[in-house]
Amino acid sequence: MKKTLLSVILCATIVQADVFEITVVNGTNNQEFTESFTAVEDTFNTMDVDAIKERIGYSETDNITANVDFRGLPMELTYAGGTTDLVLSVPSIGITETFSGATRDDSVDMFEDWLKENGADAVEKIMKKLAEVSPSDPIAGNPNSIMSTSVAKDFDAGFTQVATKQASAAVTSGTSSSANSISITPSYSALDVDGVDSTSYFVPLAYSFNFDRDINEKVIISIPISYTDVEGSKSASLGFGLAYAKPLNSDWTLTPAIGYGATGSADLGSLAQVASFSLTSSYAWELDNDYTLSMGNMVGYYSSVKFYSGDYAYDPGISNTVYRNALMLNVPTNAIVNNTSVELFAIDTRFTGSALYLEEYQEYGLSYGYDLINVNLLSDSEKYSVRRSLKIGFSYLSSDKADGFKVNFGYVF
């Protein structure tokens, strides 16, 4: 069956949407209806010609206006009475386009061709605006977006994994070698952003190539995977990261990192890519009673990159310089279990650059577990170092627009 006007609009321009609200008004007979959805397919089915006729009276010469609340981005689609001209209007980003076919179906075809061949500029504007007005855009603007999870991944590689007293102990004398390690740090988070609820499962997988001279000097290859459910709409992301942790001394480590991530959703019709570069500093102070206070500071540049689909290419142009800073206190709990500790931390994240729905947020939390380096003496002059870590943690996220919590589990072997 021929796609209707509104279904074509949504199919062609959707980047991500959690909740659609559509009001269709027939100005000729003063009938209207409003529907809300969490999936693109449901929206398509409802806006089928037969589905419209089930709700209100309709003929192809009627004056039709469709108002779409696209997660805060208003769009209007109109057919003037007695004409076949289709007019698309998105006032907030200055888009107005008219398509004049011999029939209304022809106008829809012209609109489709425009989006595929000449309308990339408009789609890019819509995508960029959605990152600003949507509380759950998959590209940026909320903690579950691909940009925010990339920031968290880079910061974890440069700070969280090295900012403990046990991990700062380097093998400094004699001939030494270190075992490479694998880390799995899955987490579950529940988030409320201005009344829009989402849950997310995030599984960063990483492999570290350790240098023999210092177990903390390493190259880290990471593959983060995530799955998010926003009000019933599902999306997923996959990334790749490369980081190099370089201890400058026993207290201070610098970690540059590069990364790439892609996010997509069949439910939401969303697909985007993000590339990044960051530099993280981790510095630790030894306090009384074997306590350790660590400070992490990261600056990174995260930007969408052009996506190609056949002859069609677009880039929403979302680019942000991100600052992420943290303090973490490590409190040994050897009296309970040997080589264990409690870590208390506070993290502040801020985005500058492209306008985003959520540009800053804070996280407060704690973790408990063990983290140690076993140094095996192979001979009087040769040592072999192996790191083992097992932790469970909880954190609370807060901002002026959002709050939520995360439970995470980390294992290094």
User: Does the pLDDT at position 413 exceed 90?
Assistant: no
User: Does the pLDDT at position 261 exceed 50?
Assistant: yes
Q: Which comes out higher in pLDDT, residue 115 or 153? A: 153
Please give the Cα distance from 256 to 246 (Å, whole number): 9
* pLDDT score recorded for residue 13: 38
At residue 286, what is the residue type? E
Alpha-carbon distance values, 187 to 176, 221, 329 (Å): 34, 19, 21
Please give the Cα distance from 122 to 97 (Å, whole number): 10
User: Three-state SS string across 355-380, please?
Assistant: CCCCCEEEEEEEEEEEEEEEEEECCC
Q: Which residue has the tokens 């002859």?
A: 311
Domain spans of the chain, in order of start: 5-132, 143-412
Under the banding of pLDDT at 50, 70 and 90, the label for residue 19 is low
Q: What is the CATH number of domain 143-412?
A: 2.40.128.130
* pLDDT score recorded for residue 309: 66
User: Does the pLDDT at position 166 exceed 50?
Assistant: no
Asked if residue 144 lies in contact with residue 137, where contact means CB atoms within 8 angstroms, the answer is no
Total count of residues recorded for the chain: 413
Cβ density class 245-264: b for 16+ within 10 Å, e for less: bebeeeeebebbbebebbbb
* Range picked from 154-168, 264-278, 338-352, 373-387 for highest mean pLDDT: 338-352
* pLDDT score recorded for residue 165: 43
User: Does the pLDDT at position 264 exceed 60?
Assistant: yes
Which residues fall within 8 angstroms of residue 140, CB to CB, at 6 or more apart?
131, 146, 147, 148, 274, 302, 304, 318, 320, 351, 354, 356
* pLDDT score recorded for residue 39: 66
DSSP E strand boundaries for 135-195: 175-178, 181-184, 187-193
Q: Work out the mean pLDDT of the chain and round it to a whole number.
A: 82
Q: Which comes out higher in pLDDT, residue 351 or 65? A: 351
Average pLDDT over residues 91-99: 91
Please give the Cα distance from 341 to 223 (Å, whole number): 28
Bridge partners, residue 209, by sequence = 219
User: Does the pLDDT at position 316 exceed 70?
Assistant: yes
Q: Which comes out higher in pLDDT, residue 46 or 189? A: 189
Q: Which of 396, 337, 394 is nearest to 371 (CA)?
A: 337
* pLDDT score recorded for residue 196: 87
What spatial distance separates the first Cα and last Cα of the chain, rounded to whole Å? 56
Please give the Cα distance from 76 to 9 (Å, whole number): 10
Average pLDDT over residues 282-295: 92
Least confident of 96-110, 212-226, 376-390: 376-390
At residue 362, what is the residue type? Q
